[in-house]
């Protein structure tokens, strides 16, 4: 099924005549073209088209929303006491479209016309799929209108199938009328499909006769074939993927891997046009969904100014504004912002700053860094040094610097004879023992507060983080909170530290900072730390660190918009009922004996699969059970990425309850498919 969304450069340019003409020509060519008029205000275009094209569809189905007054929909419908619901339009469209080979959707007004607040004609065009046909008036002034519409279509990620000029007057054709199509073709770089002559009579046969040869149907119907095979071949030839056994990747599995082409809200769309729910927020980064208009716009606006300038010796507007915003939302006491471009560097910067602070201030023995078992702070060597996941880190042991690892039990598997949550507090006690003996040699403790993500969504009982903080204070050791994963609303609060009113000395943020748009990271710290670097240059106590793209203006501009959206769209407030909904929905997984544990903090979820629920026996890692369940979930339209035997659900905070239900449903079906048997 092909869909064409017919939009105008203005109102009254001949959209309905164009729809009629295309319908007549397509039907004459033996193609079953249906018509859809999502919203109608004023004249009865839908009746007219149904009647002239002899369509059997019911009028209400062709036109789900209709208001009497000829006004923009966002005004006409409220005045008529009708509540427009875009999802209902899409559902109605799907029903009609199922009956036809080709769908002609006639928009109302132009692309920027709003339907309801925050949702315009271009959004509808995108949600209905298909390509745009832009209808332009023939005559003076059309070049500007047409080019603006083409530009806006491109900006909104819509594909233009072509431009059709429509003669709505039948007047004499002057130079403008004769030269416009050619001029637009050259300037817009999209095909001009032809000109619809003035239609004196509107019955289908006559329209078809009158327009025959005037519109290039071949060009209209030609769709570039999907180029997935070519992309996959190039990928396999040239690309080395992260955290991937490339031997497996290179193995020829039909339909795998997917090539992502675009995104929309909670969905990723592949190069064949198939849609998948993005259940891992594109590896924990997407916050407000893909292609959020506000974030798109922030990026575009900044691109219109400058993409990059250096922070070495210069300031830039977005980096300055963002720093103030970050300090505004971060736990109190964090007053200085140091930028970098990924989570690993944000942690390394904190480690280096903590270490150098003590060097700078004369406590030269405070050099050791303490981290927890199963910790993950990134993949560069400094952050691997404070990493505690053997699968990732073991091979580099001789390459990294020495640290002190603090045993931190997993909340699901208490050591023999120990009970949750007591054993977690035993880790706190062990930390105190360590500090009593060695605090004079310890520079900092680095933690992932409350949720140890990469370890498999290990979650701490309430109070543990607070205890760590108090011990750090008591023994004057810095607390580094790596909120790369937990930051920006993931756990239900802006930062996980807030949940226990913890004020770290360093806060590392990355992943969600730009809403998932661009790589950016920041290390926030206190005035005390900052002041520990204020010396004359000759004393050589400067923080000698900086990445080329530090404070990149594009990334900072999107990050500002991301933070503003939290407030404007009341994201955290709206998230709470969705967190509760997700918890309830996850209950259904308990019917499977292989589901050993379901762990959740906000929109961070780990579902741990086990061979035996009572004994908590893990699946042998060689079975790749997590990976196989996630692969199966693809069949049900959901993309996920596991951590060993743990299925990770990390939906964008913007995911709706209906989408959350679909996502969990897919996990359920996938578990059933791969492991089977319920109780």
Ligand X SMILES: *Cc1c(COP(=O)(O)O)cnc(C)c1O
Minimum distance, C-beta of residue 523 to ligand X, in the bound complex (Å): 12
Q: Which stretch binds ligand X (CB under 6 A): 116-124, 231-239, 246-254, 340-348?
A: 340-348
DSSP string, 625-663: HHHHHHHHHHHTTEE---BTTEEEE---TT--HHHHHHH
Minimum distance, C-beta of residue 233 to ligand X, in the bound complex (Å): 28
614 to 653: interface string for ligand X, x by CB under 6 A:
----------------------------------------
Q: Which is nearer to ligand X, 130 or 449 (CB)?
A: 449
Full 3-state SS string of 278-326: ECCHHHHCCCCCECCHHHHHHHHHHHCCCCCCCCCCCCCHHHHHHHHHH
For residues 334 and 350, give the distance between their C-alpha atoms in angstroms, rounded to a whole number. 13
Residue 553 as a binder of ligand X (CB under 6 A): the answer is: no
Minimum distance, C-beta of residue 406 to ligand X, in the bound complex (Å): 16
Cis-peptide, bond into residue 421, ω within 30° of zero: yes
Q: Which stretch binds ligand X (CB under 6 A): 76-84, 371-379, 437-445, 649-657?
A: 371-379
Residue 167 as a binder of ligand X (CB under 6 A): the answer is: no
Q: What is the DSSP letter of 591?
A: G
Residue 376 as a binder of ligand X (CB under 6 A): the answer is: yes
Residues in the interface with ligand X (CB under 6 A) total: 15
Residue 510 as a binder of ligand X (CB under 6 A): the answer is: yes
Instruction: Find the binding residues for ligand X in span 203-222 (CB under 6 A).
Output: none
Q: Which of 344, 499, 523, 552 binds ligand X (CB under 6 A)?
A: 344
Q: Nearest-CB residue to ligand X?
A: 343
Spatial contact of 413 and 455, defined as CB atoms under 8 Å apart: no
For residues 549 and 129, give the distance between their C-alpha atoms in angstroms, rounded to a whole number. 37
Q: Which of 453, 492, 642, 652 binds ligand X (CB under 6 A)?
A: 453
Q: Under 8 Å CB-to-CB from 412, ≥6 apart: which residues?
A: 458, 596, 597, 599, 608, 616
Residue 485 as a binder of ligand X (CB under 6 A): the answer is: yes
For residues 646 and 608, give the distance between their C-alpha atoms in angstroms, rounded to a whole number. 4
346 to 365: interface string for ligand X, x by CB under 6 A:
-x------------------
Q: Is 381 exposed, middle or buried (0-12, 13-18, 19+ CB in 10 A)?
A: middle
For residues 647 and 631, give the distance between their C-alpha atoms in angstroms, rounded to a whole number. 11
Q: Which of 129, 343, 651, 652 binds ligand X (CB under 6 A)?
A: 343
Residue 484 as a binder of ligand X (CB under 6 A): the answer is: yes
Percent of the chain that is helix, strand, coil (3-state, to 5): 40, 20, 40
Residue 387 as a binder of ligand X (CB under 6 A): the answer is: no
Q: Which is nearer to ligand X, 167 or 482 (CB)?
A: 482
Residue 446 as a binder of ligand X (CB under 6 A): the answer is: no
For residues 94 and 103, give the distance between their C-alpha atoms in angstroms, rounded to a whole number. 10
Quick one: tokens of 213?
A: 């040869």
Minimum distance, C-beta of residue 491 to ligand X, in the bound complex (Å): 12
Instruction: Find the binding residues for ligand X in span 464-483 (CB under 6 A).
Output: 482
Spatial contact of 1 and 96, defined as CB atoms under 8 Å apart: no
Q: Which is nearer to ligand X, 19 or 346 (CB)?
A: 346
Count the alpha carbons within 13 Å of 551 in the hemisphere toward its beta carbon.
18
For residues 448 and 270, give the distance between their C-alpha atoms in angstroms, rounded to a whole number. 33
Residue 23 as a binder of ligand X (CB under 6 A): the answer is: no
Q: Is 117 exposed, middle or buried (0-12, 13-18, 19+ CB in 10 A)?
A: exposed
Residue 659 as a binder of ligand X (CB under 6 A): the answer is: no
**What is the CA angle 511-515-517, rounded to 5?**
85
Q: Which is nearer to ligand X, 295 or 347 (CB)?
A: 347
Q: Which of 37, 377, 578, 585 binds ligand X (CB under 6 A)?
A: 377
Residue 526 as a binder of ligand X (CB under 6 A): the answer is: no
Minimum distance, C-beta of residue 379 to ligand X, in the bound complex (Å): 6
Residue 342 as a binder of ligand X (CB under 6 A): the answer is: yes
Q: Which stretch binds ligand X (CB under 6 A): 96-104, 225-233, 343-351, 492-500?
A: 343-351
- Chain residues binding ligand X by CB under 6 A are 342-344, 347, 376-378, 448, 453-454, 482, 484-485, 510-511
């Amino acid at each position: 099924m092909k869909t064409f969304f017919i939009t105008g450069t203005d109102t009254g340019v001949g959209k309905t005549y164009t729809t009629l003409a295309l319908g007549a020509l397509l039907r004459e060519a033996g193609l079953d073209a249906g018509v859809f008029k999502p919203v109608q205000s004023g004249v009865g275009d839908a009746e007219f088209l149904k009647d002239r094209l002899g369509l059997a569809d019911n009028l209400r189905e062709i036109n789900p929303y209709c208001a009497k007054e000829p006004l923009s929909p966002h005004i006409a419908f409220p005045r008529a006491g009708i509540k427009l619901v875009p999802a209902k339009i899409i559902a109605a469209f799907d029903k009609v479209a199922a009956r036809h080979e080709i769908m002609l959707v006639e928009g109302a007004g132009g692309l920027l016309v709003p339907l309801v607040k925050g949702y315009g004609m271009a959004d509808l065009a995108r949600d209905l799929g298909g390509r745009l046909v832009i209808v332009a008036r023939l005559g003076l002034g059309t070049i500007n209108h047409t080019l603006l519409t083409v530009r806006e279509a491109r900006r909104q990620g819509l594909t233009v199938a072509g431009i059709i000029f429509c003669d709505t007057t039948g007047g004499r054709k002057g130079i403008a009328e004769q030269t416009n199509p050619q001029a637009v073709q050259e300037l817009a770089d999209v095909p001009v499909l032809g000109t619809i002559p003035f239609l004196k009579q509107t019955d289908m046969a006559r329209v078809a006769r009158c327009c025959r040869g005037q519109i290039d149907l071949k060009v209209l119907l030609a769709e570039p074939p999907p180029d997935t095979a070519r992309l996959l071949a190039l990928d396999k030839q040239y690309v080395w993927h992260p955290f991937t056994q490339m031997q497996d990747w290179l193995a020829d599995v039909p339909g795998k891997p997917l090539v992502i082409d675009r995104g929309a809200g909670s969905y990723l769309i592949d190069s064949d046009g198939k849609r998948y729910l993005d259940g891992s927020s594109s590896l924990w980064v997407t916050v407000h969904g893909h292609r959020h208009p506000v974030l798109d716009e922030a990026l575009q606006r900044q691109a219109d100014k400058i993409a990059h300038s250096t922070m070495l010796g210069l300031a830039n507007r977005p980096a300055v504004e963002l720093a103030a915003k970050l300090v505004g939302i971060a736990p109190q006491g964090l007053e200085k912002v140091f930028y970098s471009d990924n989570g690993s560097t944000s942690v390394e910067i904190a480690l280096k700053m903590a270490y150098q602070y003590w060097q700078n201030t004369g406590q030269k023995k405070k050099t050791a860094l303490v981290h927890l078992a199963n910790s993950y702070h990134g993949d560069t060597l400094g952050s691997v040094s404070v990493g505690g996941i053997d699968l990732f880190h073991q091979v580099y042991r001789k390459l990294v610097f020495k640290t002190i690892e603090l045993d931190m039990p997993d909340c699901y598997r208490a050591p023999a004879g120990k009970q949750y949550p007591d054993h977690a507090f035993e880790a706190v006690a062990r930390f105190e023992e360590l500090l009593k003996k060695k605090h004079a040699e310890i520079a900092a403790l680095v933690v992932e507060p409350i949720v140890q993500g990469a370890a498999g969504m290990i979650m701490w009982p309430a109070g543990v983080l607070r205890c760590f903080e108090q011990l750090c204070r008591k023994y004057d050791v810095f607390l580094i909170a790596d909120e790369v994963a937990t930051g920006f609303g993931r756990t239900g609060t802006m930062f996980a530290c807030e949940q226990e009113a913890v004020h770290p000395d360093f806060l590392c943020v990355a992943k969600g900072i730009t809403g998932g748009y661009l790589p950016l990271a920041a290390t926030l710290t206190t005035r005390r730390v900052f002041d520990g670097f204020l010396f004359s240059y000759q004393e050589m106590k400067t923080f000698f660190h900086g990445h080329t793209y530090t404070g990149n203006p594009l990334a900072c501009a999107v990050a500002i918009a991301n933070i503003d959206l939290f407030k404007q769209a009341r994201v955290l407030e709206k998230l709470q009922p969705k967190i509760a909904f997700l918890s309830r929905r996850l209950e259904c997984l308990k019917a499977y004996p292989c589901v050993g544990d379901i762990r959740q903090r906000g929109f961070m979820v780990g579902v741990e699969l086990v061979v035996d629920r009572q004994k908590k026996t893990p699946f042998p890692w060689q079975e790749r059970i997590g990976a196989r369940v996630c692969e199966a979930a693809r069949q049900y339209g959901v993309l996920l990425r596991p951590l060993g035997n743990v299925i990770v659900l990390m939906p964008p905070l913007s995911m709706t309850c209906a989408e959350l239900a679909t996502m969990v449903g897919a996990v359920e079906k996938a578990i059933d498919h791969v492991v089977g048997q319920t109780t």
